[in-house]
Amino acid sequence: MKTLQKLDLRENTIGSLGARYLADALRENTVLITLILRDNTISDAGLEHLANALNTNKTLNVLDLSWNNIKTSSRRHLTNMFQCNQSLTTVDLTGNGQGDCAVIGIATGIRNNKVNLTTVNLRCNRLGDEGTEILCQALQLNCSIVTLDLRSNEITENGAELLAKILRRNATLTTLLMGNNKVGGNGAKYLANALHNNTILNILDLSGNNIGPIGIGHLSLAFCSNMILIKLDLSSNEIGNEGVQLLANALKQTMSLQTLDLGINNIGDEGAKCLTDLLKNQTKLQVLDLRSNRIADRGAEFLANALNQNRTLKRLSLWQNEITDHGAQRLMNILRYYHQPIMLNMYENRLERTNVVRREQMHHLIRNRELFEESNFVGLSISRRTTSRMFADRLQIQNTQSMNEEDFWLGLYGTNELFSRRPDWS
């Protein structure tokens, strides 16, 4: 195969022996650009073979070694690989469980000016603050990293303080993903102070960090003067309606923001009310996620009124709230005359009648766009928590077909977008 540029072997249990065969091929290969070996039980022995081969390979740009049980004993192999290889731009070491191994190997590559790494994924590696410190020391000397994924790494406010220092100096980092750590309100304050003068970062994920309303207050002050932020994820931070009020006031001035995730924040109807001015005044916001926020009909009314004056929103998630037929009908009345297609997720609210937003009533709204719906949506099964969702797309309506829950969610948010959320259906 002299033309194969991408090889995806994820979840094939190739093991160390399979990795050895691949390594032999990589020594001679001059066309392969992307190699995905996710979840293949490669372990230390297999990594040694691959690392030796990549010492001399000059074409591979993307390497995915996530979920492969790579342990501390492989530190030397990773270090050698990143010292020698000059072609890799994207490396994924997600879920290898031994933070010191992954981070030291990556840090070696980051320090090496000959290596052009731009995207580094160290998610789920238990780095902690110690691993974060090693990484930050390397980042001080780096001029190439654009995307850094540190989600689920047990990073506390101390690690956040170290990363804040990097944000003050780094001139290339545009995406920082720190969801599901332990940053807290104090850590948010460190990051906020760094963001005041940062003119590079445009994607920030701080979801699941127990930031609370006080931490959101610090971040809001930074967002007031930020004109480049495009995507912001603050879900699962218990900010409440107090926090969302501070945030909404700040983000009205952040005219670049396109995607905002405030899911699972207990904002309720009052929080939804706080967002109305944001929806009326924000001229760039396209995606708003308010899932699991205890929003009821009153909140739906506030949102509907705001949407009546909004001209940019394309996706709105109200999944798992407390909206009844009345609130849903109010939203439908507004969306019937909305100026552009909009994707609305109302899965798992409190709809008693399936005909509130049923296909016949939505036909004129979606015109020639496709409406995906659950097989029981217009059917015989009527329950208090009816699965009621719409997904409009530019396809002919006669192609309408049933879509399962996971497919719908991926259809709504996409597999590659920052704020993808797939519910736990178990």
Tell me the mean pLDDT in the region 100-104.
70
Residue 140 CA to residue 161 CA, distance in Å, equals 14
Confidence at residue 1, expressed as pLDDT on a 0 to 100 scale: 57
Q: Specify the range with the lowest mean pLDDT, choosing from 26-35, 212-221, 245-254, 376-385.
A: 376-385
Is 424 within the bounds of a domain?
Answer: no
Instruction: Give the residue with greater pLDDT, 406 vs 15.
Output: 15
Cα of 195 vs its chain's centroid, Å? 20
Is 95 within the bounds of a domain?
Answer: yes
Dig out the tokens for 124 from the structure: 């789920």
Half-sphere exposure of 274 (CA within 13 A, CB side): 21
Task: Confirm if 419 and 410 have CB atoms less than 8 A apart.
Answer: no
Q: Using one digit for the tens of pLDDT, what is the confidence trace for 311-361?
A: 899 999 999 999 999 999 999 888 887 777 788 888 888 987 645 544 333
Confidence at residue 345, expressed as pLDDT on a 0 to 100 scale: 86
Is 1 within the bounds of a domain?
Answer: no
Confidence at residue 368, expressed as pLDDT on a 0 to 100 scale: 26
Residue 117 CA to residue 219 CA, distance in Å, equals 29
**Residue in the block written with tokens 């850590």:** 187
Tell me the mean pLDDT in the region 155-172.
95
Is 9 within the bounds of a domain?
Answer: no
- Domain count within the chain: 1
Collapse the DSSP code of 347 into the 3-class scheme (helix H, G, I; strand E, B; otherwise coil) and give the result: coil
* CA dihedral over 232, 233, 237, 243, signed as positive or negative: positive
Confidence at residue 233, expressed as pLDDT on a 0 to 100 scale: 98
Structural domain for 167, as ranges: 66-413
Do β-strands 370-371 and 392-393 pair in parallel, antiparallel, or remain unpaired? antiparallel
Residue type, 303: L
Residue 220 CA to residue 192 CA, distance in Å, equals 8
Is 23 within the bounds of a domain?
Answer: no
Task: Confirm if 38 and 11 have CB atoms less than 8 A apart.
Answer: yes
**pLDDT at position 423 over 70:** no
Q: Is-above-0.95 flag for pTM?
A: no
Instruction: List Cα–Cα distances, 370 to 171, 173, 399, 406, in angstroms.
Output: 44, 39, 7, 18
Dig out the tokens for 77 from the structure: 């192999």
Residue 172 CA to residue 201 CA, distance in Å, equals 8
CATH of the domain at 212: 3.80.10.10
**pLDDT at position 388 over 70:** no
Residue 233 CA to residue 224 CA, distance in Å, equals 16
Is 167 within the bounds of a domain?
Answer: yes
Of 79, 27, 85, 25, nearest to 55 by C-alpha is 85
Residue 392 CA to residue 303 CA, distance in Å, equals 19
Dig out the tokens for 399 from the structure: 């192609």
Confidence at residue 180, expressed as pLDDT on a 0 to 100 scale: 97
Confidence at residue 276, expressed as pLDDT on a 0 to 100 scale: 94
Q: Using one digit for the tens of pLDDT, what is the confidence trace for 188-235?
A: 999 999 999 899 999 999 999 999 999 999 999 999 988 899 999 999
| DSSP collapsed to 3 states, 146-215 | CEEECCCCCCEHHHHHHHHHHHHHCCCCCEEECCCCECHHHHHHHHHHHHCCCCCCCEEECCCCCCHHHH
Share of the chain above pLDDT 90, in %: 55
Half-sphere exposure of 32 (CA within 13 A, CB side): 19
Q: Specify the range with the lowest mean pLDDT, choosing from 73-82, 188-197, 236-245.
A: 73-82
Is 45 within the bounds of a domain?
Answer: no
Confidence at residue 81, expressed as pLDDT on a 0 to 100 scale: 86
**pLDDT at position 413 over 80:** no
As to burial, measured by CB atoms within 10 angstroms (0-12 exposed, 13-18 middle, 19+ buried), residue 46 is buried
